[in-house]
Chain A
Amino acid sequence: MSTAFSAANFSTQSFPLNHTSTTTHDSPLVFAKPTSQFLRSTPKLRLSSFSKLNLSRRSGTVVAVSDVVKQKKSKSTPTLLITKEEGLELYEDMVLGRAFEDMCAQMYYRGKMFGFVHLYNGQEAVSTGFIKLLKQQDSVVSTYRDHVHALSKGVPARAVMSELFGKTTGCCRGQGGSMHMFSREHNLLGGFAFIGEGIPIATGAAFTSKYKREVLKEADCDHVTLAFFGDGTCNNGQFFECLNMASLWKLPIVFVVENNLWAIGMSHLRATSDPQIYKKGPAFGMPGIHVDGMDVLKVREVAKEAIGRARRGEGPTLVECETYRFRGHSLADPDELRDPAEKAHYAARDPITALKKYLTENNLASESELKAIDKKIDEVVEDAVEFADESPVPPRSQLLENVFADPKGFGIGSDGRYRCEDPKFTQGTAHV
Chain B
Amino acid sequence: MLGVVRQKMLGQSLPKIRPVVSVLRSYSSAAKQMTVRDSLNSALDEEMSADPKVFLMGEEVGEYQGAYKISKGLLEKYGPERVRDTPITEAGFAGIGVGAAYYGLKPVVEFMTFNFSMQAIDHIINSAAKSNYMSAGQMSVPIVFRGPNGAAAGVGAQHSQCYAAWYASCPGLKVLTPYSSEDARGLLKAAIRDPDPVVFLENELLYGESFPVSDEVLDSSFCLPIGKAKIERVGRDVTITAFSRMVGHALKAAEILEKDGIDAEVINLRSIRPLDRSTINASVRKTNRLVTVEEGFPQHGVGAEICASVVEESFAYLDAPVERIAGADIPMPYAANLERLAVPQVEDIVRAAKRACYRSVPLAAAA
Total A residues in contact with B, Cβ cutoff 8 Å: 57
**Which partner residue on chain B sits nearest A242 by CB separation?**
B92
A214 to B87, CA, bound (A): 21
Say how far B312's CB is from chain A's closest CB, in angstroms.
Answer: 10
Q: Are A411 and B172 in contact (CB under 8 A)?
A: no
Does B304 sit within 8 A of A, measured CB to CB?
no
Does B82 sit within 8 A of A, measured CB to CB?
yes
Q: Which of A171, A194, A245 contacts B92 (CB 8 A)?
A: A245
A173 to B135, CA, bound (A): 8
Q: Which of B94, B103, B171 contacts A200 (CB 8 A)?
A: B94
Interface-forming stretch among A56-64, A184-192, A340-348?
A184-192
**Which partner residue on chain A sits nearest B53 by CB separation?**
A216
- Which B residues lie within 8 Å of A172 (CB)? 134-136, 138
Does B195 sit within 8 A of A, measured CB to CB?
yes
Interface-forming stretch among B121-129, B230-238, B295-303?
B121-129
Interface string of B227-256 (1 = CB under 8 A from A): 110000000000000000000000000000
Q: Are B133 and A204 in contact (CB under 8 A)?
A: no
Q: Are B95 and A203 in contact (CB under 8 A)?
A: yes
Contact (A197, B196) CB under 8 Å given A182-B138, A409-B226, A412-B274: no
- Which B residues lie within 8 Å of A175 (CB)? 133-136
Q: Are B137 and A207 in contact (CB under 8 A)?
A: no
- Which B residues lie within 8 Å of A409 (CB)? 174, 196, 226-227, 273-274
Given contacts A141-B99, A204-B97, A209-B103, 10 further A-B contacts (CB under 8 A): A173-B136, A182-B135, A190-B131, A200-B96, A201-B99, A205-B103, A238-B92, A404-B132, A409-B226, A415-B278
Contact (A405, B140) CB under 8 Å given A215-B52, A238-B92, A241-B92: yes
Contact (A244, B89) CB under 8 Å given A205-B102, A409-B174, A409-B227: yes
- Which A residues lie within 8 Å of B102 (CB)? 189, 201, 204-205, 208
- Which B residues lie within 8 Å of A214 (CB)? 81
Say how far B210's CB is from chain A's closest CB, in angstroms.
Answer: 30
Q: Are B135 and A211 in contact (CB under 8 A)?
A: no
Q: Which of B82, B91, B98 contacts A204 (CB 8 A)?
A: B98
A215 to B101, CA, bound (A): 15
Say how far A197's CB is from chain B's closest CB, in angstroms.
Answer: 6
Does B277 sit within 8 A of A, measured CB to CB?
yes
Say how far B364's CB is from chain A's closest CB, in angstroms.
Answer: 37
A204 to B95, CA, bound (A): 7
A194 to B95, CA, bound (A): 12
Number of A-B contacts (CB under 8 A): 183
Contact (A207, B99) CB under 8 Å given A200-B123, A238-B91, A406-B194: yes
Interface size for chain B: under 10, 10 to 19, 20 to 34, or 35 or more residues?
Answer: 35 or more
- Which B residues lie within 8 Å of A402 (CB)? 132-133, 135-137
22 A-B interface contacts by CB (under 8 A): A171-B136, A175-B133, A176-B135, A176-B136, A191-B134, A193-B126, A197-B122, A200-B99, A204-B98, A204-B100, A208-B103, A208-B104, A241-B89, A245-B92, A245-B96, A402-B133, A402-B137, A403-B132, A405-B132, A405-B140, A411-B277, A414-B277
Q: Are B133 and A201 in contact (CB under 8 A)?
A: no
Q: Which of B82, B100, B131, B227 contacts A205 (CB 8 A)?
A: B100
**Which partner residue on chain B sits nearest A200 by CB separation?**
B95
- Which A residues lie within 8 Å of B274 (CB)? 408-412
Does A248 sit within 8 A of B, measured CB to CB?
yes
Say how far A107's CB is from chain B's closest CB, in angstroms.
Answer: 21
- Which B residues lie within 8 Å of A174 (CB)? 136
Which of A200, A241, A401 has the most CB atoms of chain B within a 10 A radius of its CB? A200
- Which A residues lie within 8 Å of B141 (CB)? 405
Say how far A196's CB is from chain B's closest CB, in angstroms.
Answer: 8
A83 to B194, CA, bound (A): 49
Does A199 sit within 8 A of B, measured CB to CB?
yes
Q: Are B81 and A215 in contact (CB under 8 A)?
A: yes
A152 to B313, CA, bound (A): 52
Contact (A194, B171) CB under 8 Å given A207-B100, A215-B82: no
Which of A238, A241, A404 has the most CB atoms of chain B within a 10 A radius of its CB? A404
Interface string of A384-415 (1 = CB under 8 A from B): 00000000000000000111111011111111
